[in-house]
């Protein structure tokens, strides 16, 4: 587009349009709006576009009444949730005698017109309050506006609280104003929006139609706030470390790759913040945490989204046992802060976060073994027994494999599993009494892994050996094996205080606390394939040309 074309476009599209303020012409309303439906000679509109066009045409009618179809600021006195919180138990007589004046804004969720009066439900933050509009009590102009309103429009009302004959708390409207026009059909009022694809793609519609969704994301915010508050209270400071990393590490996963143009280098979206956070521990940030996204280029499922939120924290001079105690405390308080109770329903289950069981991985295998021939502790220590029951190369990998197949799904109540084999724990410190095992634990609930923690390996030479072991595994074809990170080794060479570190999956914990069976129900915009052309710009262009002459 040339500069002249751009100038012309600006002239055409953004000339201020004539705007009627405070005048109301009765003749305007004698023209039924529907006659405009097929005024264009060319092909008839689709039903949805017809509805869109009808609603668009009301912009003119709204403006003719002296309102803005897309209004400006509105000085409300209360939010709808605030009114409900304070007055939902107040008796009708008390409301009548005290005459509580309120001014609120909200989206029209239902509308019931009855001749010269009517009711509507306004929604704000997932909560609804009824308003009652009576012709006698509002101006002629406001009544005309009331008659023009569509479901989904956003309006402001001013009036006083009362209870209807059936006892519902409502606003008796004295003044009415228009704030924003809805142009599209709203989801069905009774069933709400059920189509999961639309729910995830158009989360705004899901939020409008399904109040539970708003609640779930409010709970998610409480989960994060609770962790943050608890950690800060213990002297942890919050940091942000790189999401774009030249070397990825801190977990076993395949990364996303991106490119920086000016530097002409490939970068990886981080799979974990771990190695950066531990550099900070080396630097003297002795209690540090980060709540942010990790990216893993792997499958998508009800428990996995390619980007997910993790809390990671590190505490110098602590070990994994300190973290077990801390984890139990953190989770109990998060459940309390987010739901008001340490026991929460999850599907058919009730999860109790007030106490967390602990097993070593070997104990768990003995305890939860599926089928006959329950192994003994001697069995699960025996490399031969292990390799008979799993097809992995090393005893440690076999143990983990057996654990995952036999135990994971049995870990319904919040449970800590500790003592992980060194082969699968390249960054964890070995157990002093048994070098094949590390002082590491994972937290499980509802059969899902929700956390991972260990005493951090701070011996640079041992870390060097671990990296080299990982490189050997990579040679062998393990795509998720760790890379060598020499800057991290260098940091360890300056001496890192002994420390415990932990990662907790925020999305999964939120699933448990919101009774969500899919991670997509606790991520506002989960990754989906792109949906293809939408066509709404064309509708706007056509209706705009027809009704606004531009």
Please list every residue from 82 through 121 that binds RNA, using CB under 7 A. 110-117, 119, 121
C-beta of residue 119 within 8 angstroms of C-beta of residue 146? no
Q: Which run of H or E residues covers position 366?
A: helix 361-368
Among 28, 69, 76, 134, binds RNA (CB under 7 A): 134
Taking CB under 7 A as the rule, does residue 480 contact RNA?
Answer: yes
Question: Which CB sits closer to RNA, 250 or 316?
Answer: 250
How many CA within 13 A on the CB side of residue 200? 15
* Helices and strands (H, E) in the chain, number of each type: 19, 19
Among 71, 185, 460, 498, binds RNA (CB under 7 A): 185
Cα diameter, the chain:
93
Q: Which residues contact 154 (CB under 8 A, 6 or more apart)?
A: 105, 106, 107, 108, 179, 180, 182
C-beta of residue 58 within 8 angstroms of C-beta of residue 52? no
| Dihedral sign from CA coordinates of 186, 192, 195, 198 | positive
Tell me the helix, strand and coil percentages in the chain, rounded to 5: 40, 25, 35
Residues 267-306: x where in contact with RNA by CB under 7 A, - otherwise, as a string: -----------------------------x-xxxxxxxxx
Q: Applying CB under 7 A, which part among 256-264, 312-320, 349-357, 504-512 lies near RNA? A: 504-512
In the complex, least distance from residue 178 CB atom to RNA, rounded to whole angstroms: 16
Among 13, 41, 93, 136, binds RNA (CB under 7 A): 136
Map the footprint of RNA across residues 189-218, applying CB under 7 A: 189-198, 200
Question: Which CB sits closer to RNA, 265 or 300?
Answer: 300
Helices (H), 138-240: 140-148, 196-201, 203-209, 211-233
In the complex, least distance from residue 415 CB atom to RNA, rounded to whole angstroms: 13
Tokens matching residue 351 = 């999860």
Question: Which CB sits closer to RNA, 44 or 435?
Answer: 44
Ramachandran area for residue 495 (φ above 0: left; ψ -120 to 50: alpha; else beta)? left
Taking CB under 7 A as the rule, does residue 452 contact RNA?
Answer: yes
Q: Which residues contact 343 (CB under 8 A, 6 or more apart)?
A: 335, 350, 351, 352, 353, 354
Nearest partner of 249 among 269, 266, 234, judged by Cα: 269
Residues 238-257: x where in contact with RNA by CB under 7 A, - otherwise, as a string: -------------xxx----
In the complex, least distance from residue 378 CB atom to RNA, rounded to whole angstroms: 27
Q: Applying CB under 7 A, which part among 78-86, 168-176, 312-320, 352-360 lies near RNA? A: 168-176
Taking CB under 7 A as the rule, does residue 170 contact RNA?
Answer: yes
Among 28, 150, 462, 542, binds RNA (CB under 7 A): 150
Among 75, 529, 534, 549, binds RNA (CB under 7 A): 529
In the complex, least distance from residue 77 CB atom to RNA, rounded to whole angstroms: 21
In the complex, least distance from residue 31 CB atom to RNA, rounded to whole angstroms: 10
In the complex, least distance from residue 9 CB atom to RNA, rounded to whole angstroms: 31
Taking CB under 7 A as the rule, does residue 432 contact RNA?
Answer: no
C-beta of residue 124 within 8 angstroms of C-beta of residue 105? yes
Question: Which CB sits closer to RNA, 179 or 316?
Answer: 179
Question: Which CB sits closer to RNA, 142 or 442?
Answer: 442
Map the footprint of RNA across residues 303-322, applying CB under 7 A: 303-306, 308
- Taking the C-alpha atoms of residue 267 and residue 255, their distance in angstroms, rounded to an integer, is 10
In the complex, least distance from residue 522 CB atom to RNA, rounded to whole angstroms: 11
- Taking the C-alpha atoms of residue 439 and residue 452, their distance in angstroms, rounded to an integer, is 11
Among 531, 538, 540, 548, binds RNA (CB under 7 A): 531
How do 287-295 and 237-238 pair as beta strands? parallel
Taking CB under 7 A as the rule, does residue 441 contact RNA?
Answer: no
In the complex, least distance from residue 22 CB atom to RNA, rounded to whole angstroms: 24
Tokens matching residue 331 = 């989770």
Among 54, 84, 243, 366, binds RNA (CB under 7 A): 54
Distances (CA, A) of 126 to 150, 205, 211, 398, 540: 19, 12, 5, 49, 28
Nearest partner of 239 among 291, 294, 283, 314, judged by Cα: 291
Question: Which CB sits closer to RNA, 405 or 465?
Answer: 405
Question: Which CB sits closer to RNA, 153 or 439?
Answer: 153
Among 8, 25, 140, 188, binds RNA (CB under 7 A): 188
In the complex, least distance from residue 220 CB atom to RNA, rounded to whole angstroms: 14
In the complex, least distance from residue 293 CB atom to RNA, rounded to whole angstroms: 10
Question: Which CB sits closer to RNA, 309 or 315?
Answer: 309
Tokens matching residue 432 = 């002093």
Structure letter (DSSP) for residue 547? H
Total residues at interface with RNA (CB under 7 A)? 81
Taking CB under 7 A as the rule, does residue 25 contact RNA?
Answer: no
Question: Which CB sits closer to RNA, 439 or 521?
Answer: 521
Between CA 310 and CA 318, with CA 313 as vertex, the angle to 5 degrees is 150
Mapped onto helix, strand or coil, the DSSP state of residue 166 is: coil
Taking CB under 7 A as the rule, does residue 76 contact RNA?
Answer: no
Tokens matching residue 475 = 């040679």
Q: Applying CB under 7 A, which part among 41-49, 213-221, 352-360, 427-435 lies near RNA? A: 41-49
């Amino acid at each position: 587009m040339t500069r002249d074309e751009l100038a012309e476009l600006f002239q055409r599209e953004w000339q201020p349009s004539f705007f009627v303020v405070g005048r109301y012409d009765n003749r305007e309303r004698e023209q039924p709006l529907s006659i405009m439906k097929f005024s264009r000679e060319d092909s008839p509109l689709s039903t949805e576009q017809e509805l869109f066009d009808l609603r668009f045409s009301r912009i003119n009618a709204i403006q003719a009444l002296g309102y803005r179809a897309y209004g400006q600021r509105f000085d409300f006195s209360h939010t709808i949730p605030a009114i409900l919180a304070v007055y939902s138990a107040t008796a009708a007589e008390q409301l009548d005698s005290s005459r509580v004046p309120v001014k609120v804004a909200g989206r029209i969720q239902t509308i019931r017109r009855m001749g010269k009066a009517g009711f509507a439900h306004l929604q704000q933050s997932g909560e609804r309050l009824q308003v009652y509009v009576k012709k006698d009590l509002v101006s002629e102009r406001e009544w005309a506006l009331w008659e023009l309103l569509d479901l989904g429009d956003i309006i402001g009302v001013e009036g006083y609280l009362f209870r209807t004959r059936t006892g519902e708390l409502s606003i008796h409207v004295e003044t009415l104003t228009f704030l924003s026009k809805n142009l599209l059909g709203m989801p069905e009022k009774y069933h709400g929006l059920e189509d999961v694809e639309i729910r995830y793609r158009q989360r705004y519609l899901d939020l409008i139609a399904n109040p539970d969704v708003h609640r779930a994301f409010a709970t998610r915010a409480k989960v994060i706030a609770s962790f943050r508050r608890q950690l800060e209270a213990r002297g942890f400071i919050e940091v942000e470390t790189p999401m774009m990393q030249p070397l990825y590490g801190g977990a076993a996963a395949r990364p996303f790759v991106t490119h920086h143009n000016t530097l002409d280098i490939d970068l990886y979206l981080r799979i974990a913040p771990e190695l950066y956070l531990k550099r900070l521990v080396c630097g003297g940030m002795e209690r540090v945490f980060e709540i942010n996204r990790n990216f893993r280029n792997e499958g998508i499922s009800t428990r996995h989204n390619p980007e997910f939120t993790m809390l990671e924290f590190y505490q110098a001079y602590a070990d994994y046992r300190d973290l077990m105690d801390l984890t139990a405390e953190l989770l109990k308080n998060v459940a309390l802060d987010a739901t008001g109770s340490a026991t929460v329903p999850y599907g058919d289950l009730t999860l109790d976060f007030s106490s967390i069981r602990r097993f070593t991985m070997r104990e768990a295998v003995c305890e939860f073994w599926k089928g006959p021939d329950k192994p003994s502790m001697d069995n699960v220590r025996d490399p031969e027994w292990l390799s008979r029951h799993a097809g992995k190369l090393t005893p440690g990998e076999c143990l983990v494999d057996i654990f995952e197949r036999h135990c994971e799904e049995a870990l319904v109540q919040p449970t800590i599993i500790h003592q992980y084999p060194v082969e699968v724990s390249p960054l964890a410190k070995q157990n002093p009494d048994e070098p094949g095992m590390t002082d590491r634990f994972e937290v499980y609930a509802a059969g899902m892994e929700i956390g991972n923690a260990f005493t951090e390996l701070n011996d640079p030479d041992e870390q060097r050996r671990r990296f080299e072991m990982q490189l050997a595994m990579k040679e062998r074809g393990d795509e998720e094996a760790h890379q060598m990170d020499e800057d991290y080794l260098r940091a360890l060479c300056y001496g890192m205080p002994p420390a415990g570190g932990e990662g907790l999956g925020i999305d999964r914990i939120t699933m448990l606390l919101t009774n969500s069976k899919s991670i997509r129900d606790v991520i506002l915009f989960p990754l989906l394939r792109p949906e293809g052309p939408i066509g709404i710009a064309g509708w706007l262009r056509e209706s705009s040309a027809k009704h606004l002459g531009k």
